[in-house]
Structure 1
């Protein structure tokens, strides 16, 4: 093959190459092929950037440049080097190891290109299914499945790449053939040792496709309120309201109860309670409550109600129901109603604030009788 390629070169180049020392010729071939590969990568990148400038906020070409730029810087030169190996003047004993080394490097770089291509596809799906909507149930469902599938595909690519590299060594292939006889017993042992991890992995599959939780869902778990920030193959990350992170094993959401406030829709109903005196003019409070609800954009025009829901020994319980488009707006709306209703009661009906009443009856005055002064 080497003779065929060299004889297929132009006569001038062939005669010139034969005059060079082998080491200089080999270095020249390596340098030239690397330069050609980098030039090809540069041209491809410039074309992508040119088309990216003509697009809006999202650009598929911009995403390709961002994710594929570095992997292509290794992959294209390695492809060119693999093509140029027959041109090198090496002894036959060096060709095989060199091809093996370049093959391993090419496998690693190709795996990185595949992983980056998956990230490009993920960016495209994230653009199509954006979360910048009031009702983003479908978008969160797609993103949850995509995130799990992406991580699974990356794990498979890494596993297959490592397996191919190891199997490229003849000694390891022979060892692997001998180990096949012990796969059954070894599989049972590994299964017992890693049953928790396997359980989490199976739970991840179940969550990805049955979806009791999704990315950006609002959950209450372990007494904490937060949003689902990330779903991995083995655990779930919740971003709590105070920016802490709660890490839970993924099978937690299969085995234990929890609250999902956005399972069907992000819309939610909240409640505000006031405890006031029995002489409170409820109708006046109801009018003020309705005025406040109409004045705020936080209310989604669905639910508003003010009712006396309980009467205690010294106070009555007034519950105000409010609805909002999502839990964050519901929290702000509840705070808004609570603050303004308390201010209204303080300003207009201060006698309605809770008070204790005590009636004292049968009180007899115990006064000392006048005692005449006998010292006069």
Structure 2
């Protein structure tokens, strides 16, 4: 009986031991890859080689290769796919080539690599899908060569009872020659003395000298292109083409500079990862900016040509359809600008691979960024939306005559964030669009620019109204700014004990012409009354009593 219980207890212990062993083995598979041996052909690992964490492995590799200790740096490569007899010779060469690739291909921020041995994903926000999980496989950088994308990986390995180490994966070692062909040193570096290849900060010494010279040469090329475009403008006959050529000199110069720089970086000279990253971002921004600016200048030139041909100088004397057309052209221009800017921004983001770099972090913080952008740009976004509202609803049009806050002015331009009003005395009133649409205003050109003008004269009660009415019609018909003569009117609109108020009405085609006509007719009426009937001027009647006369005589006697 006791023997039977002993076997049962032994079976239970064995079962738990197997389960524990399986659990430990499963846990170890999550932390590293097991290997029988690592780089046997390289011999003992030098003490200066650090491989316990991804950060230490890459930092150690870069420092060793910068000191030309390529044989020691080879211990950070997993050369398991290379025969042991060839690992020493080929390992040093592969370490040198990978060093050149990492230095020129992409700037690596070593501080961003995990500093933990298990490369645990640390994300306090908890947004990362693998937050809190250890890793045994890590991507260091992604590079493009021969039209394909290649990844440089670090992998964690453990041999028997030795401590786990991080090494460049065998798959990465296999593609080092392909990457070196793309990112290896250019032919010009063969002529640079070794003493100038010493590292100084993020760049080598020769790069600190070459980059300013490089920028000066490229700048000189841009100046030459700018001057050439200016000559082309002078050769072209006056018109749309010369106008367009005169506007694209600067963006064309920058685009040529960007293209030539790209060619030189690809075939003549290559800089380190920091310099390459800087130039790539700069070239992407310059190319997008130059192309967008040329496209906008082309649109502006075409719109100006169409405006000059169909509309000309716009004001409220033009037909409503012409002013509506010009307003629609301004709306089209703003839409094209918006689309072009968005396309340029997307191009730059794709070119610098911002989406791949930020990845999940960008998506996780998108809502927060949207809220912050909305708060920070509330005024600007509000004006832009109000601008599109004005352009689509058209409560005003380019050239409309309006009365805004006591100012008589013409609508001269409707832009993204403001409306430019031309006051009658040629002053310019700049009004934020959002403020403009929130205030009441009079649009004198909503249906027609025609307006009634009135002249008010205060005359004596004995003034002949009918006679003045005929004279007014005669004077008004002599004015070019007076139309619809059948609507010329004259009425007595007020009266006091000593005078009467006479108002004359005349119709004018637009406010400015109406103002001039009103002034001219008023002057003629006043001159007629002054020269022919001065008794019609209003006068005060003073009544003197007999008592006042007697008192005056008494004062004279004294």
> If the length of structure 1 is used for normalisation, what is the TM-score?
0.75
1:344 Cα deviation from its structure 2 partner: 1.0
> What is the DSSP-based 3-state SS (H/G/I as helix, E as strand, rest coil) of the residue aligned with 1:52?
coil
> RMSD of the alignment, in Å?
4.1
Please give the alpha-carbon distance, in whole angstroms, between the structure 2 residues aligned to 1:132 and 1:169.
45
Are 1:211 and 2:377 matched, yes or no? no
Please give the alpha-carbon distance, in whole angstroms, between the structure 2 residues aligned to 1:349 and 1:305.
21
Are 1:52 and 2:245 matched, yes or no? no
1:203/1:254 contact within 8 Å kept: yes
**What are the Cα deviations for residues 319-364 of structure 1, in whole angstroms up to 9, with x where unaligned?**
1111222111111111111111111111111111112335567869
1:123 Cα deviation from its structure 2 partner: 1.6
**What are the Cα deviations for residues 220-252 of structure 1, in whole angstroms up to 9, with x where unaligned?**
111222222332222223232344443333134
Structure 2 counterpart of 1:61, from 233, 236, 241: 241
**Superposition pairs for residues 5-16 of structure 1, below 5 Å?**
none
Matched residue, 2:483: 300
Please give the alpha-carbon distance, in whole angstroms, between the structure 2 residues aligned to 1:73 and 1:195.
36
> What is the DSSP-based 3-state SS (H/G/I as helix, E as strand, rest coil) of the residue aligned with 2:237?
helix
Matched residue, 1:111: 292
Please give the alpha-carbon distance, in whole angstroms, between the structure 1 residues aligned to 2:436 and 2:270.
60
**Deviates further, 288-297 or 138-147:** 138-147
Change (3 A) 1:82 1:40: farther
**Deviates further, 346-355 or 157-166:** 157-166
Please give the alpha-carbon distance, in whole angstroms, between the structure 1 residues aligned to 2:245 and 2:225.
15
Larger radius of gyration: 2
Matched residue, 1:290: 473
Matched residue, 2:46: none
Change (3 A) 1:234 1:103: closer
1:295 Cα deviation from its structure 2 partner: 1.9
1:216 Cα deviation from its structure 2 partner: 2.5
Structure 1 counterpart of 2:306, from 101, 107, 125: 125
1:83 Cα deviation from its structure 2 partner: 5.3
Matched residue, 1:349: 533
Please give the alpha-carbon distance, in whole angstroms, between the structure 2 residues aligned to 1:19 and 1:215.
60
> What is the DSSP-based 3-state SS (H/G/I as helix, E as strand, rest coil) of the residue aligned with 1:251?
helix
2:458/2:499 contact within 8 Å kept: yes
Are 1:72 and 2:252 matched, yes or no? yes
Tell me which of the two structures has the higher relative contact order, counting C-alpha pairs closer than 8 angstroms and 6 or more residues apart. 1
2:492/2:500 contact within 8 Å kept: yes
Gaps of 5+ in 1: 4-17, 54-58, 368-376
Please give the alpha-carbon distance, in whole angstroms, between the structure 2 residues aligned to 1:320 and 1:45.
59
1:35 Cα deviation from its structure 2 partner: 6.9
**Deviates further, 88-97 or 319-328:** 88-97
Matched residue, 1:322: 506
1:152/1:233 contact within 8 Å kept: no
Gaps of 5+ in 2: 1-144, 147-186, 193-212, 552-558
1:285 Cα deviation from its structure 2 partner: 1.2
Please give the alpha-carbon distance, in whole angstroms, between the structure 2 residues aligned to 1:255 and 1:228.
16
1:37/1:77 contact within 8 Å kept: no
2:255/2:290 contact within 8 Å kept: yes
**Superposition pairs for residues 154-173 of structure 1, below 5 Å?**
154-170=337-353, 173=356
**What are the Cα deviations for residues 142-187 of structure 1, in whole angstroms up to 9, with x where unaligned?**
2223334424533443454345334533467433641222323543
Are 1:337 and 2:521 matched, yes or no? yes
Please give the alpha-carbon distance, in whole angstroms, between the structure 1 residues aligned to 2:432 and 2:245.
35
Please give the alpha-carbon distance, in whole angstroms, between the structure 2 residues aligned to 1:73 and 1:214.
37
